[in-house]
Amino acid sequence: MRTPHADLHTGTHDPFHLPHESWRRLYGLACVRCRGGRGLRPGGHAYTQHADGGRLGWAVQICADCDHHSKSTDSKAS
């Protein structure tokens, strides 16, 4: 299964199947959604599966563009 552009915000990810690029997003080095690096700010958490069956949370970053987009989408939904 290849989902290189997946939004890491959604779901719980298997750390053994994450591409190297996804780790950059988990470490907050790139936008969690678009992999960009402009205007990064704290963007909530992404989760990976842990060996004991739990989840491991990562404080991820989101870029200004995606942050703005998600906020405008939310306001329209409510």
Residue 16: Cβ-neighbour burial (10 angstroms; 0-12, 13-18, 19+): exposed
Residue 63 binds Zn ion, judged by CB under 5 A = yes
Minimum gap (Å) between residue 54 Cβ and Zn ion = 28
Q: Is 25 in the site for Zn ion (CB under 5 A)?
A: no
**Residue 60 binds Zn ion, judged by CB under 5 A:** no
In angstroms, give the least distance from the CB of 66 to Zn ion.
Answer: 3
CA 12 → CA 18, 29, 66, 68, distances in Å?
11, 19, 20, 24
Residue 40 is a binding residue for Zn ion (CB under 5 A) = no
